[in-house]
Amino acid sequence: MGRSPRGGSAATWSGLALCALAMTGLVASSLPEPDQPEPQRSGVTSSAADPYCPPGWDPGVDSAARAAGTRVSDPGAQADAGVEITPEQAAEYEERLRDALVSQRGRELAPPYTVPVAVHVISATDGRGAVSDQQIRDQVDVLNRAYQGDYALGSEGTDTGFRFELSDVTRSADDAWFDDFNRHGDAIRSQLRQGGPETLNVYTTELDSGLLGYSTFPQDYQDDPDRDGVVIAYDALPGGGRERFNEGHTGTHEVGHWLGLFHTFQNGCQPPGDYVDDTPYEREAAAGCPKGRDTCPERPGRDPVTNFMNYSDDACMTHFTQGQARRMVEHWNAFRGGSARV
């Protein structure tokens, strides 16, 4: 396990695939046209791979999960056919973002001051999965620290401007729900989900070994609002039993997807990568905390191993970039409406 760089510890798109600086005053920037030069991406030291499913995962179970950004504990596992976010799917989501931002032109884009968080604890009747209120508070605290840059080293930290406030906790002891959240996901979310697009709904439950969590994207809300939210393995919360992944950064990572970010290794070494100019290209996801990794040597910068949108161990992950913060703000204003602003 990589050393913990304290200050810190650490933690796609399409309706087709599971297994998966305060920014006030930012104006949305447009993507280059296909015939324009690809954007130059800065060299930041870090690493990451494509979303893989754990062995034995059934791709026929839950389309909501298949439409999500994911985090797994073993990026070297064999990918199931059809579960990776393809370049075409990513480009479709990007086009939807750019179309939605047309109406925002001329406006200053800024994050909300506070995002309300409703946590729904799904446990077994024997008590498995019944995470404590303290763990829930600790998870929200991790989100606030991560999104304001507290885990970052030196100058790499970015205050994204996003803050999170616990608004409610619900508890459901149901063996069927706990043992197979994917199969019962539609019913669970339709019964429990709270608020509108601005409310972060987090579901904690049992997930297959290897799968840490998954999230919907902002673009998905309009078509299926009940599915909007983040699912996290109960033992990946702070203080949980998931070794190497129990400091709360699965939550940090999945909320990044909920706010519109791809994995740092999206599209591998090929442009446009993860659609963020200041995260170096990365051929595949990182595992553990590799130092000096460079899977795209023909591109500037080493792999973004310590970025929250990688698959590295929690203790290795430390930051978002300014470009990622800008992208989250764009998604917030385009799809979540800024209605949580106070």
Catalytic residues: 254
Q: Do 192 and 203 contact (CB within 8 A), yes or no?
A: yes
Where residue 149 falls (left for φ over 0; alpha for ψ -120 to 50; beta otherwise) is left
Lookup: tokens for 58: 């059934």
Tell me how far apart the alpha carbons of residues 61 and 311 are, in angstroms, rounded to a whole number.
24
Which 3 state secondary structure label does DSSP give 205? strand
- Phi/psi for 178 (5° steps) reads -70, -45
State the amino acid at position 247 in one-letter form: E
Tell me how far apart the alpha carbons of residues 254 and 264 are, in angstroms, rounded to a whole number.
13
State the amino acid at position 54 in one-letter form: P
- The CA–CA distances, whole Å, from 99 to 122, 136, 217 equal 37, 36, 16
> C-alpha angle with apex 262: 260 to 268, nearest 5 degrees?
160
Tell me whether strands 164-173 and 230-233 are parallel, antiparallel or unpaired. unpaired
30: Cβ contacts below 8 Å, ≥ 6 apart: 98, 101
Residues counted in the chain: 342
Distance of CA 124 to the CA centre of its chain: 26
